[in-house]
Chains A and B, each alone.
Chain A
Amino acid sequence: MKNNAPPQDFSVSQKIYGRLMLAYPRSHRAEYGAAMAQLFRDQCRDAWSESRTWGLLKLWLRVLPDLVSTSIMERLAALNERKSMTDKLANLFGFRTTSAITFFRVFLVIFLLVFLASAVITFILPESYASTARIEVESNGPVSDAAPHVGASAYDPYFLQTTFEIIQSQVVLNPVIDKLNLNTKWGNKYNGGTPLRTENTMQLLKQRVSLSPERNTKLIDITVYSEDRVEAAQIANAITESYRDYRDKIEAGKLDTLIPKPSMVTIIDTAQPGMRPVRPNKTLNIVLGMVIGILLGLTIGAGAAGVASLFGRRSHGDGPRGKPSIPPETTASRSINDEFRSGSLQRVVGILWMVMSGILCGLGLLALFWVLVNGPKLPDALFVSIFGIFWAGNATASFFLIRGRSWAKICVAVMAAVCWTSGLMMVWSTSTWLPPASNPAVRLLVLQAWHLFAMIFPLPRALQWLFMAFALFTACALLRHHRRSHNGASPAV
């Protein structure tokens, strides 16, 4: 008789099978887990008495495919018992409460919409190449009797801005259009073979030119975007030459022409055709789509969960936070909390939140679309300002919908105030402050993420202090940036 005492690998097999049974749905395990484990134990015993370790190995070879296929079948069957996809996913992730399911459902829909939209737009957009030429420009300086000590190289805050305007003016761009015959070329490309008028070509050309200064130098980068990599380089080089000719011509017309002078413009780098398309930046666009999708999903999902929770409780006769509903009072001295509990303010806030979220969502999608098409630059600060204001409105409405401890409420109130302040400051400084490359805009995004986090989860005390410190820091950073931009210290491009 081969039947000896069960060896080590006998019990190890049972332990492993016990772990692998986690592949089955919880309900199936609860119902049949013990019976399956017992059956496997019996099979192990038979296999061991038949041919010991080899028998166990053969058993595993039979049981593993069985386990994989049947666990998948049971998982699918468990999913089919649920009502909808979001219910199924919510169940998979362990969400149990109505508000959590609502949050998850709304979040998923918004996230997928934004993410898929960004992905589709990214792959539909035509590719374009960038070529950059670099020039060094000498200022012709405000030399005057009133300020004889100011040399030609003195800092002139208006010089760069003036140079940019000249480069994008007719005196520089018209020769480029003529030299490269862009009226005919772009007419063939965009106007069905009919040559474009110079004004139209000029418009198109301006849209494709981007100028940026090298900080603390006299260098300017002239970047041209085009679907044709060679054309982009040709245009960039033509612009640099045209601007150099213009400056040389101006200098030649001055009274002191007899004094030999070097050229006022030096071409440091000529533009070369780009090797890879720079627009659309697929990775950036998809990451942006994900981030904005998550932020919008969190915002709208959290608010929807709050509304669902409040309205759901009201319909069951309970007020906020599970307290019994307070009957409507007839006196005129009702507090906001009483209003809120009685439902009238709750409805107004709910509607406000929905309107705000709708506008926010629309603006967010519009901003995303703009970024995807034009790169990470928003049209101007006004757009961000409007976005910030609606954001603030949303945050304020969220404050009334929040559940949780008083500290969390205070944090969200601070957030709402910061959002409002920053939004108003952006509007105030619209004319000079351009947010694309500035950190405060990014900080604002992070701030909103914190705000949402605080709204959804009860935060430990230390994190709440960190949260408030971050809010104050952001407010200070925005204020500093605003003051700098009004003083003209930061370049406006």
Chain B
Amino acid sequence: MVNAKIDPENLLPLTPAVFHVLLALASGERHGYAIMQEVTESTEGQIKMGPGTLYGTVKRLLEAQLIEESDERPDPHLDDERRRYYRLTGAGEQVVKAEAQRYADIVAIARGKKLIGKSALITVPGGC
């Protein structure tokens, strides 16, 4: 579901919290707790989102139509019915790709200046 009215470039750069939530949802639908776990694991525990930050970010992403609430459950028998699942919209996907590309360009510049090696791990800056 691509929202043709949203130009991803206008939304960049994203705040770290927004980028991490979009990244977490890039691999599939998730509920709030799963998003938080995904962010913690992908940043090796450097970023631990609180409920306020997570749902504040979710609220803004929903308003910007970058994510949407999903009615489908991966497996209703295995999960709490009260959990709300979220997934990326087409616009959200474009935005997260554009932001990732922006980071990639920055990394390429840093490599050109030999600030980081080719095998260096890319760590997303910022915190929540």
Contacts and interface: CB of A to CB of B under 8 A. Distances in A.
Interface of A: 24, 28, 31-32, 34-40, 42-43, 62-63, 66-67, 69-71, 73-74
A439 to B, nearest CB: 56
B48 interface: yes
Given A66-B50, A66-B51, A70-B50, A39 B56 contact: no
Contact of B32 (A31, A38, A70, A71): A38
A204 B108 CA distance: 84
Contacts of B51: 35-37, 39-40, 43, 63, 66-67
Interface of B: 32-33, 36, 48-56, 58-59, 80, 82-84, 128
Interface centre among B51, B58, B59, B82 (most CB of A within 10 A): B51
Given A39-B32, A69-B52, 7 more contacts: A35-B55, A35-B83, A35-B84, A36-B32, A67-B50, A70-B56, A74-B52
Given A38-B83, A42-B33, A66 B59 contact: no
A34 B52 contact: no
Contact of A62 (B48, B55, B59): B48
Contacts of A24: 52
A28 B49 CA distance: 18
A120 to B, nearest CB: 41
A28 B59 contact: yes
Contact of A63 (B50, B55, B56): B50
A36 B52 contact: yes
Interface centre among B48, B53, B55 (most CB of A within 10 A): B55
Given A38-B32, A39-B36, A31 B59 contact: yes
Contact of A38 (B49, B56, B58, B82): B82
The B interface is mostly helix, strand or loop, or mixed, namely: helix
A74 B60 CA distance: 11
A47 to B, nearest CB: 10
The A interface is mostly helix, strand or loop, or mixed, namely: helix
A95 B32 CA distance: 34
Contacts of A39: 32-33, 36, 51, 54-55
Contacts of A31: 59
B48 A70 contact: no
A37 B83 CA distance: 11
Nearest to B50: A66
A66 B83 CA distance: 22
A35 B32 contact: yes
A67 B53 CA distance: 8
22 contacts: A28-B59, A31-B59, A32-B55, A32-B58, A32-B59, A35-B55, A36-B32, A36-B54, A36-B55, A37-B51, A38-B80, A39-B33, A39-B36, A43-B36, A62-B50, A63-B50, A63-B51, A67-B50, A67-B52, A69-B52, A70-B50, A70-B53
